[in-house]
Structure 1
Amino acid sequence: MKLVKLTLGLAVATATLAACNQNGEKAAVVSETGATQRAEAGVPDIVYVNSDSLLANYEYFKEVRTRLQGKAEAKEKSLRSQAESFQKEVQRFQQQAANMTVQQASATEQRLMQKQQQLQALQQNSGNELMTEESEEMKKIYDQVESYLKKLSEDKGYKMVLTYQRGNSAILYSDSTRDITSEVVQGLNQEYETVKADTAKAEEATKKK
């Protein structure tokens, strides 16, 4: 028995980043005067982020992926152990069935069928729990990336932030000066470190009470 494999990965998160581009109302809007000044200064209005690099270096995403993979492996190990134990019970029944009365054999068979159904339900529930948690975590990542890109666009005057993934992108070519991936990764990681530090302080303060 194997758990449903995690779908958390670059494809999911790439779709997350792409969603940032589809909502035009959320793009940073700047005045015509500001646009002219940026043009004169050589600052682009449209930039892009390499989603592969972003996710490979975003610490929060990496921690979420590691944590969910650990949970999936632990659940699969537990289910495998229970499945092996159940299989041994079935084998014992098969070996001893000839010496059982009809009533004993029927009762044992019924019990094993119920146990099998319980194991199947447990497997399904475990997979659903992981998928639900993964979906919730990806929403958090989406919200954080979107929030940061919105602030960055307001600060820099970007009108649009595109997402790029090699082999799966509408952008066939762009000047490298429009690639803000490193800046976004650095900013996201700085924000995450601040959140982690604040959370740690809050937990420490709670323990002292």
Structure 2
Amino acid sequence: MKNLSLALNAVLTIAVIILFYLHFSGQPSTETAETAQETEVAETAVSEEPPARDMTGAIGYINVDSLQTNYKLYKELIDQLKARESRYEKELNAKSAALEKKFIEFQKAAPTMTQFEGQTKQKELMEEEQKLYKMRDEFAVKFQEEEAKLNEKFQKKVKDFIKNFNQEKGFDIVIGASRLGNVVLDYNETIDISNDVISGLNKLYDEENAPAAPKENK
């Protein structure tokens, strides 16, 4: 907040200089040749300032929660994800139930097995269990990849539409707002003040970190 205030102060200083020039350039001309020359220099300095941007732009607001609730494509993609999740769960549950049944049967038959038979069967079941864990992890990774792909499809569809939509409507900024936060979906590049802010901050940084002037020996 402190740095932002200092940067804004720099902008206000420029505004004061411009107002100072506008005020005195409208007065009757009674200056001496020297004063007239100074005024001419001031005019040249002001004319070199970049034209002020119009910051009174129109803002479009999109309720992202409402968009997700009512957009047909979003519902379709969610249904696809749920279907895949359900398919993975069913396959895992079926294999898990089958393995559990084998463990129960092994426990019942263990007393009648030789030590070698018991160890062999136990090793076999443990290997099946490890395969099941591996399948579970693979399904989790695969589901995350599919989720990311569908999410990318959803975002691209929305952003592309908004970009085309905004060419007609002419909003300077389109904001998507949700319970999780806000995001800029589209904006007019002419109102981008990034370079101005960066320049102001760097200037402020240089001023704050300039080496102190050496003290004069008395």
The TM-score range, normalised by the shorter chain, is 0.5 to 0.7
Q: Which residue of 2 aligns with 1:75?
A: 88
Compute the RMSD of aligned alpha carbons: 2.2
Aligned to 1:139: 152
Residue 168 of structure 1: how far off its partner (Å): 4.1
User: Which amino acid is the alignment partner of residue 103 of structure 1?
Assistant: F
The secondary structure found in structure 1 opposite 2:153 is helix
Out of 49, 65, 74, the position equivalent to 1:61 is 74
Structure 2: runs of 5 or more not aligned: 1-50, 184-218
- Structure 1-normalised TM-score? 0.58
Instruction: Determine which of 129, 137, 141 is the counterpart of 1:116.
Output: 129
How many equivalent residue pairs? 131
State yes or no: 1:104 paired with 2:114.
no
Q: Give the 3-state SS of the residue equivalent to 1:78 in structure 2.
A: helix
Superposition pairs of residues 1-209 of structure 1, within 5 angstroms: 45-165=58-178, 167-169=179-181
What whole-Å deviation, never above 9, does each CA across 1:98-151 have from its counterpart, x for those lacking one?
A: 111111011101100100000111111111111100100101111111111111
Deviation at 1:52, TM superposition (A): 0.8
Task: Tell me the percent identity.
Answer: 24
Q: TM-score, normalised by structure 2?
A: 0.56
2:169 maps to a residue whose letter is K
Q: Which has the higher contact order (CA 8 A, sep 6+)?
A: 1
Q: After TM superposition, what 4+ stretches of structure 1 lie above 2 angstroms from structure 2?
A: 167-171
Report the Cα distance in structure 2 between the residues aligned to 1:116 and 1:149, rounded to whole angstroms: 49
Give 1:97 shift: 0.9
| 8 Å Cα contact 2:60/2:171 also seen in 1 | yes
Distance 1:87 1:134, change over 3 A: same
Q: Relative to 1, partners in 2 of residues 1:57 and 1:170: Cα closer, same or farther, differing over 3 Å?
A: closer
Cα distance in structure 2, aligned partners of 1:170 and 1:83: 43
State the SS of the aligned residue for 1:161.
strand
- Secondary structure of the residue aligned to 1:158 is coil
Residue 154 of structure 1 and its aligned partner are, at CA, apart by 1.3
Output one character per residue of 1:157-197: Cα deviation in whole Å (capped at 9) or x when no partner.
111101122x44469xxxxxxxxxxxxxxxxxxxxxxxxxx
